[in-house]
Amino acid sequence: MGNRAIYLRALARFRHDYRKTVLAIRAALDAGNALQARRLAHTLKGAAGMIEAPALHTAALALETALRDGAGGIDALLARLDAALTEVLRELDGMVLPETETPPATQPASSGSLARLRAMLDIGDGAAVELVAAAHSELAAHLGQRGVEELSAAVVEFDYERALALLDRQDGAAGG
């Protein structure tokens, strides 16, 4: 029973976290950020593998590979990925799954919400803006006022690479 409960929570988390990934990939491509688009496809590929969604995994791998190699046909691969993700989400929406955690904007900046912010930035989730705004003082306690201002600016500008680098730099300073 324990493994089933863990798997169901993973499915619920996937449904919540990856619903807008294709939109985020499109936005990255529209902004000329193929690296971010590839990173999002890579993350989705891994998540699809974890929940045993082979068609989605294959579609994400194909897009990631094309982006890495600078190949053409990106629009067709993105459409294929969108169709595969839509099908997985349709199946998950039809299942009774456990509720996911409180929406990010209402969570304090504990190590759990910092991990959540990191995950949101990794998939290009625009709701990261809400989390940073709602948890400003808690983030300042972890990052310092200047650090949270830099993080906020990066997130508002959708510069998730820079935001992740700021978190990594802070983690390195705290750890060493």
Taking the domains of the chain in order of start, what are their residue ranges? 2-93, 104-175
Residue 80, token pair as written in the block: 């294929």
Other CB atoms within a 10 A radius of the CB of residue 59 amount to 24
- Residue 51: closest CA among 10, 97, 103: 10
* Four-CA torsion 22, 28, 34, 37, nearest 10 degrees: -30
- CB of 109 within 8 A of CB of 143? no
pTM, two decimal places: 0.58
Other CB atoms within a 10 A radius of the CB of residue 3 amount to 7
- Ordered per-residue pLDDT tens for the chain, 176 residues: 457 777 788 888 888 888 899 998 998 899 898 998 999 998 899 889 888 999 999 999 999 999 999 999 999 999 999 999 999 999 988 887 766 543 444 344 455 667 788 888 888 777 787 777 777 777 777 788 888 889 888 887 778 889 899 888 876 666 54
- CATH number (3.40.30, 1.20.120, 2.10.25, 1.20.272) of 2-93 reads 1.20.120
- CB of 6 within 8 A of CB of 50? no
- Residue 58: closest CA among 28, 84, 37, 38: 84
The backbone torsions φ and ψ at residue 53, rounded to the nearest 5 degrees and listed phi first, read: -115, 80
> What are the start-end ranges of the H helices in the chain?
2-17, 21-30, 34-50, 54-69, 74-93, 111-123, 128-134, 136-143, 145-156, 160-175
Measured on CA atoms in the order 74, 40, 158, 153, is the torsion positive or negative? negative
